[in-house]
Amino acid sequence: MSTSVLTASPRTTPRLPADNDVVGRSVIPRSRRPPVPRWASLVGVVVLWQLASAAKVLSPDLLAPPSTIATTGWRLVRSGELGSALLVSSGRLALGLFLGIAAGVSLGLLSGLSRWGDALLDPPVQALRTLPHLGLVPLFILWFGIDETPKVLLIAMGVSFPLYLSIHSGVRQSDPNLLEAARVLGFTHAQRVWHVSLPSALPHALVGLRQGLGMAWLSLIVAEQVNASSGLGFMINNAREFLQTDVVVVGLVVYAILGLLTDTVVRQIERRALSWRGTQR
């Protein structure tokens, strides 16, 4: 008795073109990649800055050249002054980020997922958002004193408002067809929120987090120059009193580098967390 064997033809996988790069699960043609690395423009600015200082276009009394700033920065690192200031500022920023992210996410979800939450929470939050929170420094000092509390609260406010707006907008823009399909399939309200609303709000939330981090560093600079006895802002303010422009620029460069690093971390998280969008394309 003979048995017939049904053999299926092997499934062929289309080969990607040789001039394509795969990033996550999306295919990006090399022709669309930028012709230069992202850091090339920063290097060009530093080179032009050094050339302008060497040509006496920029006075060293007004803006120290990059070579002097590098020497001063290395001196501050060796003395431990920059390390201790950076440690204090990092602690303030971390606590402010924790409070600001918790507040922004909670308020954004409550107002975005609930009509009652939107009616009760959104108007006062929008009113507070329009206030220049950096101008609240004198009032915060009257309320909370001159210790760490007003500094941390300023950072938290800088983070919470962009994050709130992004999450609120992302939840409100959930695809109604997906929500209806989930309801028809028998998903509970909590399951619809978890599987539809939150993934819809995630891209917006990451953009809001990037904006909030920029506001956090700005708030930290201002907060540390008001009744502070330590930190990067205090180091900058102290150097300003003695007309040490090189130390001032060193502190600002450290702020800029830390801001770029935190933004890069969020960009990497965004690339990994949103890799599913490549498959949809």
* Contact (Cβ atoms closer than 8 angstroms) between residue 169 and residue 111: no
pLDDT in tens, 246-257: 888 888 888 888
Give the pLDDT of residue 103: 92
Token duo for residue 192: 């619809």
Tell me the C-alpha distance between 166 and 124, whole Å: 17
Give the pLDDT of residue 138: 81
Give the pLDDT of residue 277: 62
Highest CATH level, class, for 65-280: mainly alpha
Show the low-confidence residues of the chain (pLDDT under 50).
1-28, 279-281
Domain ranges of the chain: 65-280
How many other CB atoms are found less than 10 A from the CB of residue 191? 13
Residues in the chain: 281
Tell me the C-alpha distance between 176 and 167, whole Å: 17
pTM of the model as a whole? 0.73
pLDDT in tens, 119-169: 888 888 888 888 877 778 888 888 887 788 888 888 898 899 989 988 888
Contacts 24+ apart (CB under 8 A), 183-186: none
Contacts 24+ apart (CB under 8 A), 80-87: 81/235, 82/235, 82/250, 82/254, 84/230, 85/230, 85/231, 85/232, 85/234, 85/235, 85/251, 86/232, 86/254
